[in-house]
Amino acid sequence: MSEEFKRLERTLVHNGKIIDYYQDTVQVPNGNVVKWDFIGHKGAAAMLAVREDGKLLMVRQWRNALDRYTLEIPAGGLNSIDEPTETAAIRELEEETGYIAGKVQFLLSIYTTVAFCNEKIDIYLARDLKRQESQHLDEDEFIDVKACDLEELVQMIYDGKIEDSKTVSAIMTYKSFLTDGKL
């Protein structure tokens, strides 16, 4: 069916710091030509970090788009489209939490908003953590690190207190893998 859709044109509307905004002209299966918005994103990486005591490291930070604080797993954008996502995830964990991962394994990939954006986040699991002296935050980052029990986080998801897609996906995948004996 994808052969029935044909992009005729992609026009850059605005270059942003994190994203680029385009307007696409697309011919749809019935022959009509439509305009669709497209957000181009270079990708991101995230880390679900588990301490020796089983607690998961979470970051509490202000999110402008939601106009409130959120509780999330550490994550950030790739420095370039060619940067390995594992490298970015390790970097973000250290910068945002002050921890270094001794052992890292791939957990899953998600696309955050498939209707209009190509942002893909690769999510990794970090264990054998080593605490460094401090976080290495960007000048616009103000992050509190929290260590939480898995079941507490799952309940926060069910209660609608954690809604961030990468965080929900990572926590529920981790819980499932633990339950199924895959970890």
Q: Is the pLDDT of residue 88 over 60?
A: yes
Q: Is the pLDDT of residue 137 over 80?
A: no
Q: Is the pLDDT of residue 67 over 80?
A: yes
Burial state string for 48-69 with b = 16 or more CB within 10 A and e = fewer than 16: bbbeeeebbbbbebeeeeeeee
Alpha-helix residue ranges (DSSP H) falling in the chain: 85-97, 150-158, 165-179
Q: Which of 139, 141, 152, 163 is catalytic?
A: 139
Reported as a pLDDT band with limits 50, 70 and 90, residue 183 is confident
Residue 132 confidence (pLDDT):
83
> What's the whole-number average pLDDT of the chain?
93
Annotation says 4 is catalytic: no
- At position 22, the amino acid (one-letter code) is Y
Long-range contacts of 129-135 (CB under 8 A, 24+ apart): 129/49, 129/50, 129/51, 129/52, 129/57, 129/99, 129/100, 129/101, 129/102, 130/99, 130/100, 130/102, 131/98, 131/99, 132/94, 132/98, 132/99, 132/100, 133/98, 134/98, 135/95, 135/96, 135/97, 135/98
* Count of residues making up the chain: 183
Q: Is the pLDDT of residue 35 over 90?
A: yes
Domains of the chain plus CATH, in order, are 2-40 (no CATH), 42-179 (3.90.79.10)
